[in-house]
Structure 1
Amino acid sequence: MSSSMAPSTSSTEVRKPSPWLHFVAGGLGGMCGAIVTSPFDVVKTRLQSDLFRQKHTAVGVLGHGGSAVLTAPRPTNLLYNFVETGYIIRDIYREESFRALFKGLGPTLVGVIPARSINFFTYGNGKRFIAEEFNHGQENSWVHLSAAAIAGIATGTATNPIWVVKTRLQLAQGDKKVLGGSWLCIQTIFRNEGIRGFYKGLSASYLGVTEGTIQWVLYERLKKLSAATEGTKGGWLSQWGGMLGSAGTAKLVASLITYPHEVLRTRLRQPSVNGVVKYSGLWQTLRLVIAEEGARTLYSGLSAHLMRVVPNAAVMYTIYEGLIHWSTIA
């Protein structure tokens, strides 16, 4: 956290955090957020995929067991989507077990910890370097934007194979080869698709760099506005509440603007069906999804996504900022 968040006492010395603290704090924050919100991640991935989307939306219309007669069109408003997410979590718990709500958590943690560590490390040190070398030591929006873009590209490239494995595990239902664990999934991908199989969806990940960029820039701006009101009322509770609000709001806005890339990325990472690869490229996938299912499909799973990423971001950024703040107090 910036020095403005430190107590303003004469006996308090503010110092710069270690460059590697960004790495540790980002990984710890990402780990905590991922564990808490894992069930929503499973629901989001299934709704994004055409392998599960029809099944889960049918449950929402026909009821548990699918034996009821269709008597009314399925609601399509955003509010119902949040209710539907709850129904899907319930049905996964009933039909597949409690553990199914945490499918893919292993590779998620394996991916989240280095991903957040790399992202926060690259961004935290990158913005300092860019400001000092190119902007007379002053941070502004273009410094934040540049650092966020570099951090997003570095993170996406380094961790894409992990997210491919996670997606395959979350889409697995009854496939013993995949349900056997991450290692068997890795072997299957390598045997059937080679090294390139681990980089499916990378183009969509690079497109998703825009989300991280928007999120960081907006977060820095909201954090600055929140800090400007510091000390007016509420004390430390208001201070940290503002931090939570800044993180959650920034993620909400960034997700709403860039969400379609999430659906495209999931489709590109799907396993082949009967040896046939349906989605082979970013633009081919975009055209095919719109042609077969309509543009609304690009927002499949949005409610589950928001229910996951907004609190996830709030937890992650608060832990990160808390550790950075703690380290700056001598």
Structure 2
Amino acid sequence: MSIKEDNPLLHLTAGAAAGTFGVLATSPLEVLKTRQQSTVSSYSSRSVHTNESGVKRLHTAAGKPPSLRAQYHAIVAEEGFRGLYKGLTPSIGAVASSKALFFWMYSECRKHVRKHCNQGQVVHLTSGTLTGLINSIILNPFWVIKTKLQLDEKKCSRSAVRKTIKEMWAAEPYMRAFFRGSSASIVGSFEFGMFFLIYEELKPRSAFTENNYLQALSKVAFASTVSKIVSSTCLYPTEVIRTRLREDLETPEKSRKYRKFWRTCSTIYKEEGLNGMYRGWVLHLFKTVPFTMITFGVYELVLHLFQRQDKRALSY
């Protein structure tokens, strides 16, 4: 490895740039996906009523979600075009920070794991899983805020983020509201390990050449696409469970319906079957595959440009 490849600032910068580009390009799809995963959103259910406080609750288990086209038009009509970008502020903060930390931590984890094991597949699987685990726990509060903003069907306002944080702070003691869904995030960490296990095997060791960026980006796009489709499909139910754990849906006894990972998993499967575990899955792939392609393409390109600049500097 060159000196630049070992520089933490390089991975932090490349990761932040990659995450920012990715979230800006795919934010509307993320909002639509979250609404489909949820049972709180009236756009995702057949039978809802409004309680005295104005909060929508389901009479029964959620019905089949509407088509993406219908859901898109409903959001634009009821909440305005800005409704498709709800949660963008915490998303950019979380994703830029997340990807910066993610790529840096993966580089560091891989370096330390290699000291104890030289088998490539084990290194990639272990490093990816550890990276996903640490990253998910640290940034869980950002994702909770983002999910709540995306499930809010009121018109967008500049004070929405501050108001959401204030409500969450008052809702539960010891900041528990900010760590809802963390158990699902921990289980979902295996997706990152599976992703890197496949990605590192498919990606050429030296994807970029001096004058062939398009071909290099195509190779990275192919490797990241295949890796994401396989890993995301296998672990997707953890995404749905995580969204449900962050909902405020109440039972007739006025307690939260979705609590604890395995109980929520069981409830979804009993009430909605396997389809419930994969609600929003197609949209998730439509969103996450382009996001992954953009993120890893930008990351690999920035790494290459930094290394190229470093070589030029050393040649003078």
TM-score by length of 1: 0.80
Distance 1:182 1:235 in 2: 43
Q: Which residue in the other structure is 1:71 paired with? A: none
For residue 259 of structure 1, give the secondary structure of its aligned residue in structure 2.
Answer: helix
Equivalent pair of 2:35/2:43 in contact (CA under 8 Å): no
Q: How many pairs were matched up?
A: 289
- 2:230 maps to which residue? 253
| 1:22 lines up with 2:22 in the alignment | no
Tell me what 1:203 maps to. 183
Q: How far apart are the structure 1 equivalents of 2:11 and 2:22?
A: 16
The residue that corresponds to 2:37 in the other structure is: 48
Cα 1:172/1:17, change in 2 over 3 Å: same
Q: Identity, % of aligned pairs?
A: 30
User: Which of 116, 128, 136 in structure 2 is aligned with 1:134?
Assistant: 116
Amino acid at match of 2:38: S
Asked whether 1:85 is paired with 2:73, we answer no
Give 1:316's match in structure 2, choosing from 283, 295, 310.
Answer: 295
User: Counterparts of 1:269-288 in structure 2 under 5 Å?
Assistant: 269-273=246-250, 276-288=255-267
Whether the 8 Å CA contact 1:17–1:328 is kept in 2: the answer is no
1:326 to 281, 301, 305: 305
**Cα contact 2:40–2:248 (8 A) shared by 1:** no
Q: Tell whether 2:299 aligns with 1:299.
A: no
Q: Which structure carries more relative contact order (alpha carbon 8 Å, separation 6+)?
A: 1
Q: What secondary structure, in the 3-state scheme, does the structure 1 residue paired with 2:203 have?
A: helix
Contact 2:144/2:179 (<8 A) preserved: yes
Match of 1:221 in 2: 201
Deviations 1:158-209 (A, max 9, x none): 0001111111111112389x98311111110110113111111000000110
Q: Give the letter for the 1:218 counterpart.
A: I
> Is the partner of 1:198 in helix, strand or coil?
helix
Distance (whole Å) between structure 1 residues aligned to residue 5 and residue 37 of structure 2 = 42
SS at match of 1:279: coil
Tell me the TM-score normalized by structure 2. 0.83
Aligned partners of 2:12 and 2:100 also within 8 Å: yes
Whole-Å separation in 1 of the counterparts to 2:283 and 2:13:
28
Distance 1:157 1:33, change over 3 A: same
CA distance in 1, matches of 2:150, 2:4: 43
> Where does structure 2 lack aligned partners over 5 or more consecutive residues?
48-63, 312-316
- Does residue 1:35 correspond to 2:15, yes or no? no
Kept after mapping to 2: 8 A contact 1:85/1:303: no
Q: What displacement does 1:287 show? A: 1.0
Instruction: Report if aligned partners of 1:127, 1:139 keep a CA contact under 8 Å in 2.
Output: no
Q: Equivalent residue for 1:113?
A: 96
Specify the code of the residue in structure 2 equivalent to 1:206.
I
Tell me, in whole angstroms, the C-alpha distance in 1 between the residues paired with 2:281 and 2:11: 30
> Do the aligned partners of 1:40 and 1:308 also contact (CA within 8 Å) in 2?
yes
- CA positional deviation for 1:21: 1.2
Aligned-residue CA RMSD in angstroms? 2.7
- Output the CA distance in 1 between the equivalents of 2:5 and 2:90: 33
8 Å Cα contact 2:229-2:289 kept in structure 1: yes
The one of 191, 199, 211 equivalent to 2:170 is 191
Give the conservation status (yes or no) of the 8 Å contact 2:4–2:10.
Answer: no
Asked whether the equivalents of residues 226 and 243 of structure 1 are also in contact (C-alpha less than 8 Å), the reply is: no
Matched letter for residue 283 of structure 2 = A
Among 157, 166, 175, the alignment partner of 2:137 is 157
In structure 2, the CA distance between the partners of 1:255 and 1:183, relative to structure 1 (3 Å rule), is same
Classify 1:200/1:276 alpha carbon distance in 2 versus 1 (closer, same or farther; 3 Å). same
Residue deviations 1:31-78, cap 9 Å, x none? Answer: 1101110111111111111112x634659xxxxxxxxxxxxxxxx8xx
